[in-house]
Amino acid sequence: MPTLTGRTKLAKLDFFVRYPEFLQRALAQLQGLEGEAGSHSAVSDGEIEAPMIRYRYGPWDPRYRNFVSFLETRKLLSVRKGRKVERYVLTRAGVDVADRLVSRPEFGPIVSRCAVMSGTLAKMSGTELKELIYELFPREVGDAAMRSRIAL
């Protein structure tokens, strides 16, 4: 089953889904570093899905616990607590729901963003993603006041 390890990684990948302009800029930077071919301009439609706040380790949404609990209660997600990090695992029912949502055209922009992240950003650890965000977006994220809304 699909698994995501760590709350930090969850939040940082979510940041890139919600902020397509930052995703596009990060991918452009990584292309330059890795020499990848191709353009990711299709991932940015200029719209911020839902704003996040600047918190201790970068972008954050204080509603994560509610979201995770909601998905767990409906048996769409299983949270496995390890010694240091949580692992988020889609259940069979969660995979079925995700498959249905992926096929709906209104989710196309989000699906596209997730697809381009799968080859680069999704392979990074939560700490690596946090450091990348601070490096690439110091003014927008790193220097922002705690609990302030992250804006372009």
The pLDDT tens digits for 58-114 are: 999 999 999 999 999 999 999 999 888 999 999 999 999 999 999 999 999 999 999
At residue 7, the 3 state secondary structure works out as helix
The pLDDT tens digits for 85-94 are: 999 999 999 9
What does pLDDT average to over the chain?
A: 91
Average pLDDT over residues 36-61: 76
**Strand (E) or helix (H) holding 23:** helix 20-34
* pTM, to two decimals: 0.91
Q: Report yes or no: 120 and 23 within 8 Å, Cβ to Cβ.
A: no
